[in-house]
Amino acid sequence: MPKRAFIIHQWCGSPGSDWYPWLKKELEKRGFAAEIPAMPEPESPDIAKWVGFIGKSVGKADRETYFVGHSIGCQAILRYLETGGHIGGAVFVAGWFTLTREAMPTRAEKAIANPWIRTPIDFRKVRQATGNFAAIFSGNDPYVPLENASMFRERLGAKIIIQAGKGHFTKEDGITKVPAALEATLAMAGD
Domain regions of the chain by residue span: 4-189
**Rounded to whole angstroms, what are the CA distances from 189 to 64, 70, 90, 96, 127?**
8, 19, 10, 24, 17
Average pLDDT over residues 75-82: 98
In CATH terms, the fold of domain 4-189 is: Rossmann fold (3.40.50)
Number of C-beta neighbours around residue 90 at 10 A = 30
**pTM for this model (two decimals):** 0.97
Q: Does the pLDDT of residue 1 top 90, yes or no?
A: no
Q: For the residues 151-164, what does the mean pLDDT come to?
A: 98
Is residue 79 within 8 A of residue 49, CB to CB? The reply is no
pLDDT tens track for 128-145: 999 999 999 999 999 999
Query: How much of the chain, in percent, has pLDDT values that exceed 90?
Result: 96
Q: pLDDT digit string (tens) for 21-69?
A: 999 999 999 999 999 999 999 999 999 999 999 999 999 999 999 999 9
